[in-house]
Amino acid sequence: MSSYLELKNITKKYQSQKDTKIVLKNIELKIKENEFLTILGPSGCGKSTLLKIIAGFIQPDSGQIFKKEQEIKNPDIDRLMLFQEFEQLFPWQTVLDNVIFAIKALLKHKKIKLNKKHINAQALSYLKAVKLEAYKNYYPHQLSGGMKQRVALARTLAAEAEIMLMDEPFGSLDSQTRQELQQLLLEIWQNNKMTVIFVTHDIREAIFLSDKIVLMQNEPGEIIDIVKNKLKFPRQRTSLEFNQFLAELKNQLYAEPYKF
C-alpha cells in the first residue's frame, strides 16, 4: 500500500563564505493519512527546514516529496503552516474577521459562494472549537499569547487543510497554557480528519501528542530512528509507562543513560 505522504532522499545544504553546511541529509519518511507525526530533535537539526520543504516554501537540493504518488514542489492550500510566533494574525482585523479571511480564501479556491450569514456561522464554529467564541470582537493586541495561538489554530482549521504543519507552535507559552493547548490540539485532531506534522524539541510534548515520533540528530540533520508511540489515550504525563518511554527516547537522543 502506498503512503499518503512520502519524502525520498531529501537533502538540503546552505553555503556560507567559509564552507557548506549540510542541514538535512538523505531524509526518508513515510506518513500515513490522518496520522499525528512529530519531528523531535535538538536545535539545529533541520526540523523547521524540513517542515518548510514539505510546505513548499523552500526547495531541497536533492530528493522528492510525493502526496498520493503525485510529486509536490510548491505551496498549496492542502498544506498550511502554524508557527511559534504570536504575531501571525492580521492586527487590523478582529478575531472573527481573521477566521473569516481563511474561510473566504478556501471558498474562492473551491469556487463556492456562500452568503455572509453562513460564513460568519462557520467562523464562529471554529472559534467555539478553540474556546474563544466570546472573544470574537476582540483585536489581536487585546489577547494573551495563548489566546492568539488559539485564534491562529482556528484560522488554520477554517482553511480545511488536509495537512497541518506546526513549527513549535506552543514553544513560547508558559507551562500551563502549553499543556492546555496540547490537550486542545489533541481533541481537535481526534475529532477532525487531518494529518498533523508537528515539530518540537520537547520530548514530553512529542509523547503526549504523537502517533509516531521521528528522532533527529544534527550536524548533519539525519533521522536516528522512527518510533511508534504505543501509549493509549488518554495519556497521563505522570504515569510509569509515560516516563519509561520518556527515558527510552532520551537515551536514543542523547546516546547516554538518563535517570528520572
pLDDT for the residue numbered 2: 63
pLDDT for the residue numbered 186: 93
For 188, the grid coordinates are 481537535
Strands annotated E in the chain: 5-15, 20-31, 36-40, 62-67, 70-71, 79-82, 163-167, 195-200, 212-217, 222-228
Fold annotation for 1-78+163-259: Rossmann fold (3.40.50)
pLDDT for the residue numbered 171: 86
Look up the pTM and report it: 0.91
* Cβ neighbours, 10 Å, residue 152: 22
- Which range of 132-141, 156-165, 174-183 scores highest in mean pLDDT? It is 132-141
The DSSP call for residue 235 is P
Q: Is 247 exposed, middle or buried (0-12, 13-18, 19+ CB in 10 A)?
A: middle
Domain boundaries, the chain: 1-78+163-259, 91-161
Checking if the pLDDT of 73 tops 60, the result is: yes
Q: How confident is the model at residue 1 (pLDDT cuts 50, 70, 90)?
A: very low
147's CB contacts (< 8 A; 6+ apart) are: 132, 135
User: What is the chain's mean pLDDT, rounded?
Assistant: 91
* Cβ neighbours, 10 Å, residue 120: 17
Q: What share of the chain is helix, strand, coil (3-state, %, to 5)?
A: 40, 25, 35
- 133 touches 187 (CB < 8 A): no
Checking if the pLDDT of 251 tops 60, the result is: yes
pLDDT for the residue numbered 86: 66
pLDDT for the residue numbered 157: 87
- More confidently predicted of 86 and 184: 184
Distances (CA, A) of 91 to 85, 95, 135, 138: 14, 9, 14, 10
pLDDT for the residue numbered 257: 46
